[in-house]
């Protein structure tokens, strides 16, 4: 079946602009995660959605970052007033559930460059 | 707090040889899972193998096996019969049972040469 998809694959923006990144999880997966990978670094957790529960936003680095998940499927990560330090690859992952140690499957990522 | 340590920033291996990528972890949780992911230059994170903390047998998936030593808190990945396509970054990650997120190490870049 189809894997996790993300769009756009690349985004170049100017400092101060807002950007939206989209994630389509694997069909039927109830849990969705956003991570950020800065150059040469491991992945940093940002936010997690499980069904209709309130999201875990504990990893969001500032209030410029927000995310939504509509209808329990597609998610959008929004970064307002982008800064150069926001440049990174943003990865989305989904898993069947979150109550167990289900494997998270990742999308190809969106490479964000803030000039 | 949970932490993953990968001490090898880079590794080289000759094609058809086996290679071990090191991973140690720190957690106070009793129930947790350990994961290895491969990230080729395309950037996608590809799941390779999973080991649960209560699993008595080491996990194996094709050419991948996980050398799990619970007392030493290590979860090394062994790749047998290396192939040129194995060249990539490899990340070790863990997740405690009562948390949502994966904690990743800094990765090991593996290069397979002919």
The end-to-end CA distance of chain A, in Å, is 37
Higher pLDDT, A83 or A103: A83
Q: Which residue has the tokens 């939206």?
A: A20
- Residue B2 pLDDT: 87
The answer to whether A60 contacts chain B (CB < 8 Å) is no
Cβ pair B50:A41 closer than 8 A: no
Whether the pLDDT of residue A96 is over 90: the answer is no
- Please state, in angstroms and rounded to a whole number, the distance separating the CA atoms of residues A22 and B18: 39
Which residues, at least 6 apart from A62, have a Cβ–Cβ distance to it below 8 Å?
A: none
Residue B67 β-bridge partners: B76
Whether the pLDDT of residue A82 is over 60: the answer is yes
For B104-114, the pLDDT digits (tens) are: 999 999 999 99
Cβ pair A42:B106 closer than 8 A: yes
Which residues, at least 6 apart from A16, have a Cβ–Cβ distance to it below 8 Å?
A: A81, A82
- Please state, in angstroms and rounded to a whole number, the distance separating the CA atoms of residues B1 and B110: 28
Which residues, at least 6 apart from B1, have a Cβ–Cβ distance to it below 8 Å?
A: B26
| % of chain A beyond a pLDDT of 70 | 96
Cβ pair B105:A42 closer than 8 A: yes
Output the CA angle A106-A107-A112, nearest 5 degrees.
120
Are A37 and A44 contacting, i.e. CB atoms less than 8 angstroms apart?
yes
Provide the pLDDT confidence category of residue A99 given band limits of 50, 70 and 90.
low
Min Cα separation B27/chain A (Å): 15
Residues of A in contact with B4 (CB under 8 A): 42
- Residue A103 pLDDT: 86
For A2-57, the pLDDT digits (tens) are: 899 999 999 999 999 999 999 999 998 989 999 999 987 789 999 999 888 888 88
Cβ pair B47:A48 closer than 8 A: no
CA distances B13 to B9, B62, B63, B68, Å, are 14, 18, 15, 22
Average pLDDT per 10 consecutive residues for chain B, totaling 114 residues: 93 97 94 94 91 92 96 97 97 87 93 97
Q: Which of B32, B52, B102, B103 to mutate to test the interface with A (most CBs of A within 10 A)?
A: B102
Provide the pLDDT confidence category of residue A100 given band limits of 50, 70 and 90.
low
Min Cα separation A28/chain B (Å): 18
Cβ pair A42:B32 closer than 8 A: no
Q: Which residue in A45, A50, A111 is closest to B102 by CB distance?
A: A45
- Please state, in angstroms and rounded to a whole number, the distance separating the CA atoms of residues B39 and B79: 15
Cβ pair A101:B97 closer than 8 A: yes
């Amino acid at each position: 079946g189809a894997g996790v998809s993300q769009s756009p694959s690349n985004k170049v923006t100017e400092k101060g602009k807002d950007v939206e990144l989209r994630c389509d999880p694997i069909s039927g997966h109830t849990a969705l995660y956003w991570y950020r990978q800065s150059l040469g670094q491991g992945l940093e957790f940002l936010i997690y959605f499980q069904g209709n529960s309130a999201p875990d936003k504990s990893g969001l680095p500032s209030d410029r970052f927000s995310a939504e998940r509509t209808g329990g499927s597609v998610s959008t990560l929004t970064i307002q007033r982008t800064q150069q330090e926001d440049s990174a690859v943003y990865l989305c992952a989904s898993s069947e559930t979150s109550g167990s140690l289900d494997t998270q499957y990742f999308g190809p990522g969106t490479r964000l460059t803030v000039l | 707090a949970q932490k993953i340590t990968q001490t090898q920033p880079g590794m080289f291996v000759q094609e058809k040889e086996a290679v071990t990528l090191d991973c140690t972890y720190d957690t106070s949780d009793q129930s947790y899972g350990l994961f290895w992911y491969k990230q080729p230059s395309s950037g996608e994170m590809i799941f390779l193998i999973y080991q649960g903390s209560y699993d008595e047998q080491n996990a194996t998936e094709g050419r991948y096996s996980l050398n799990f030593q619970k007392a030493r808190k290590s979860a090394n990945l062994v790749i047998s019969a290396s192939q040129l396509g194995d060249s990539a970054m490899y990340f070790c990650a863990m997740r405690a049972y009562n948390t949502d997120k994966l904690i990743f190490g800094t990765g090991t870049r593996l290069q397979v040469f002919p």
